[in-house]
Amino acid sequence: MQSIKALEKDPYFRLKLIFLCLSVAVVVSIVYVTVVYKMAADIGTTTEFDATMTEARNLQYVIDTHSLAIAEDRVGDILTRHYSQSPSENDITYGFLLLNSPSPFSFSNLPPDKLHPILDKTSIMQEVNDKGITVIEGQQYVWVHLKSNANADILFIKSAKSISLAVDYITRRLIITSFITFWIAVWLALFLATWMNNKVQTKNNALAHIATHDALTELPNRLYLFSICRSEIQDLIAKQSIDHEQKIGAIILIDLNNFKEVNDTYGHHIGDAVLINFAKRIQHVLSSSEILIRMGGDEFVIWGKELDKLSSLSLSENIRIACHAPLIISDLSIEINPSLGISLLFQHANDLDNLMTYADLAMYQSKSNHLGPVVYNKTLSESYLYEAKLRGDLLDAIQKEQIFLLYQPKIELASGKIIGVEALARWNHPIEGVISPIHFIPLIEKSVHIHKFTRYVIEKSIIQAKEWLALGIETTIAVNISPYNLLDGDFARDIEALLKEHQVPVSVLEIELTETAMMNDISSTKSSLQTLRELGLSIAIDDFGTGLSSLSYVSQLDANIIKIDRSFVMDMDTNNHNLAIIEAVIGLSNRLKWEVVAEGIETKEQLTTLSTLGCQYGQGYYFERPLSKQDITSLLEENKQFPN
Ligand code: C2E
Ligand code: MG
Ligand code: MG
């Protein structure tokens, strides 16, 4: 499962930004100050060197162009004029010496205790035509050593004042500039950090919204459920461990029953509008502690952190009431009919995944049994597990021939004679025992085995018919097929091949197809049934009355037998409505020359009423329950006639 952790807000994001901007400002300021300081020191040094060198060259010129005695006086004059003999604090100290000279004269205002260490230091490094700076006792001295062109070399030493002057000057200004720059940087950092923080957080919020919401309905989506609701569930569990009374929290799973038809009939744009309007209706009945989530398609979930069993049921009821009025979309009136399944935190599960599974099982139960809201209970899981187990054993059932057939006689009501049988499948499961088709047929229909299964039942029936023919028994066998068989293009050809293989006439076989099954795809049902009719097979419309088709629709289907559903026969003696329907069906079928079979005759009264109404054929426990191969063979052999 994806996580939205990556999109969660960083509470320190702005602080981090400020810190980053300030760090950059400080680093830039330090680099700036260092560079400027260095430049100032370099400028001071260069200026000092240039000035000292010019002075030294002038003195050298005097030495070179005069005799030593005159040069000594002249140089002495110049130096005493420019530099005082006994310097005060602010005066420049200097030293002037002739080297390699017959006359060792020198001038200096430096006391000997200073001059000698300077000479010691400078002489080591001295080369002719050299210059440099030497630091002695914290004081910088610039010295120039020039080669004489005539009389003698000179060494001129001077305390370097302009270096410290330049540095002092720049430093004063630098402190002020740095202070101003730093404050500008601080404000800029604050402004930039706030601006960027707002920009990034706005984008982040937008991204988080997109990731956790459904684009169509604007509702939170499954990512929201599995991250935000999941953590709310964990909080409730943590709270419950402290406050043991607190046992609340529920998931309500909602699925729209007829949504596929809406999409198929009116198109996806109407389907979308249905979902949007449905979501709006539900939101109106929710309180602020309940949240509606769209899981995808027509599946919605409500997570209510304050819901318990009673309030979940009453909320579900309110949802159903909110859905009573049809939705009006583009002048269409569309019915919405939700199925609701409820699972409760603490009572059913302590984690979201299981809560979802259980709510799904409950919802499935609500949908398949056309019930109102269903609260999960353990038996739902048990039946689900049972189904899952049977599903796993289906292939074995066919391959190991665990499926066997029972036969229920079809009686001509007027004579009481058996005119045919209906083959009804049973599964002899090695562990579960004999399983009814109402349990395993829906599972087979949902699996890929349905084609193999029907072919198996038809072949077994054909073989049975052949055995009876060999015994001189001529009777029809009706086989139930699934609507999915009609989608198989080879279905009719396979039946034909089986009949040929076992040399059984086609008139022996009847095909029964439930009315609801035929409604799925009208045009393809029609053409598949036509192919079967062209083969010469009889087609019966089974469980007639339970679907939505009209007699006129059925008349287009080329069927020749109508089997009235057991539910009409069951209470025809007390329910005038059902009696009227049976009467109408029989009347019309007789006129259209269809055979009518009444299913589920259990009493003499029912038989009498049906006979009076003109029903030709009947089936039911009143005559016989579905019988084993041996029992039905005996009945057929003795040509049993039932009382009428
Ligand atoms: P159906 O085709 O409508 O079969 C009639 C069902 O009603 C049978 O149930 C039968 O035992 C039952 N029945 C007959 N008379 C009475 C009566 O008087 N009272 C009551 N209460 N029930 C009666 P069964 O054998 O359990 O079959 C149930 C359904 O399973 C069948 O309904 C049919 O739709 C399906 N089915 C059975 N065998 C097959 C098969 O081989 N293939 C397919 N696709 N479906 C099958
Ligand atoms: Mg049937
Ligand atoms: Mg039936």
pLDDT tens profile 101-113? 777 778 888 877 7
Per-residue confidence (pLDDT) for residue 128, from 0 to 100: 64
- On the question of pLDDT at 235 being above 80, the answer is yes
Per residue in 266-314, pLDDT (tens digit) is 899 999 999 999 999 999 999 999 999 999 999 999 999 999 999 999 9
Per residue in 427-446, pLDDT (tens digit) is 999 988 999 999 999 889 88
Per-residue confidence (pLDDT) for residue 434, from 0 to 100: 95
Residue 587: strand, helix, or coil: helix
The identity of residue 581, as a single letter, is I
From the number of C-beta atoms within 10 Å of its C-beta (0-12, 13-18, 19+), residue 559 rates as buried
CA–CA separation, 146 and 515 (whole Å): 125
> Quick one: average pLDDT of 347-358?
93
78: which 2 tokens? Answer: 């110049």
- Confirm or reject: Cβ of 437 under 6 Å from ligand 1: yes
CB 627 within 8 A of CB 635: yes
Per-residue confidence (pLDDT) for residue 273, from 0 to 100: 95
Per-residue confidence (pLDDT) for residue 416, from 0 to 100: 95
Per-residue confidence (pLDDT) for residue 123, from 0 to 100: 63
- On the question of pLDDT at 406 being above 60, the answer is yes
State the distance from the centre of ligand 2 to the C-alpha of 512, rounded, in angstroms.
6
**pLDDT more than 70, % of the chain:** 94
CB 511 within 8 A of CB 481: yes
468: which 2 tokens? Answer: 């009876």
Index of the ligand 1 atom closest to the CA of residue 481? 44
- Pick the ligand that lies closest to the CA of residue 619: 1
Per residue in 575-591, pLDDT (tens digit) is 999 999 999 999 988 88
Quote the mean pLDDT of the chain.
87
277: which 2 tokens? Answer: 């309007």
- On the question of pLDDT at 251 being above 70, the answer is yes
State the distance from the centre of ligand 2 to the C-alpha of 396, rounded, in angstroms.
24
User: Ligand 1 pocket check: which of 435, 451, 480, 562 to mutate, most ligand atoms within 8 Å of Cβ?
Assistant: 480
Q: Is the pTM of this model over 0.85?
A: no
Q: CB atoms < 10 A from the CB of 496, how many? A: 16
CB 271 within 8 A of CB 329: no
- On the question of pLDDT at 2 being above 50, the answer is no
State the distance from the centre of ligand 3 to the C-alpha of 618, rounded, in angstroms.
11
Q: Whose CA is nearest to atom 15 of ligand 1?
A: 620
Any idea what DSSP says for residue 547? S
Per-residue confidence (pLDDT) for residue 429, from 0 to 100: 94
